[in-house]
Amino acid sequence: MIKPKGLVLGDTVGIIAPASPDTREKVEKSNKKLTQMGFKVKMGKSCYEKYGYLSGPDILRADDINSMFRDTEIDGIICLRGGYGTLRILDLLDYQVIRNNPKVFVGYSDITALHIGINQISNVVTFHGPMVSSDMVECFDSFSKESLYNFILKDRFDTGIIKNPKGERIETINGGIVEGPIIGGNLSLIVSTLGTPYEIDLKGKILFLEEIGEEPYRIDRMFNQLRLSGKLEEAKGIILGDFKNCSSDDSRKDNSLTLEQIIEDIIKPVGIPSISNLKAGHCKPMVTLPFGVQARLDGNNGELTIIEKPIKS
């Protein structure tokens, strides 16, 4: 895998909106926040555009990504927010430009499609972590900030041991120890890649999954789609992150399975080392995960360690 150059305070960070739009106020606050954090900022055109539920037409959003990677003045790229839209632009990206100009690239949720494309086609390490408008503007807690900085800042890599916020325990689904690169992200987005040229490749890899706002039967359906497609068996290990608001409301609980039951029915029988409740995804505080570098998943002890530095020294 190609590793990007680590960032230092004072570097120029580009902000792009490859999915849904945000208010002008949140955009300006995002610019101000990164500036306060010690970075120079360059805003993408997509941050100021709106096309229905998209932050501008597909070609504009794709060009923003291509231009940010091509721009030699930009040292790293952080997404404004998620929402919907990245699947529409996967075939518009210049993966060779991205490969030739590797940069720290951060986002999650709908950005999952970009992680998969950049990771598999450009062979570049990316970072599943907080976005500016969604996670930094109002309250960027110290845990989330330090987790992000540990992986993207030059000479900041203190430890590869992934720890949850205090009081949150990583649970074991299946024991065993495996090593391999992590890839994945939002469950809905991953399932949406199946049967396309951008289908997630899990051979020799550890699958990370997170989700928000899906009823248990929908989680069940998507887990089963991964199972029936052979993707779960293809993976070396499984990490379940935060599944925010993925339980039935009180009026429907008697007619629903719980998320825990679904995991027991579908994930556990796969038999590979697996853990759950890693606080990565739509949660605060949030763990940052580098995609594409070697990690060790210890299902026996509920531990995850990044064993390869994800940036150039």
Catalytic (active-site) positions: 109, 210, 282
* Amino acid identity for residue 206 in this structure: I
In this structure, the dihedral spanned by the alpha carbons of residues 301, 303, 309 and 311, taken in order and rounded to 10 degrees, is 170
Q: Look-up: residue for tokens 């070396």? A: 236
Q: Burial-class residue 28 by CB neighbours within 10 Å (0-12, 13-18, 19+).
A: middle
Kind of pairing between the strands at 104-107 and 126-128: parallel
First to last CA, the chain: 15
Cis ω for the linkage preceding 285 (within 30 of 0)? yes
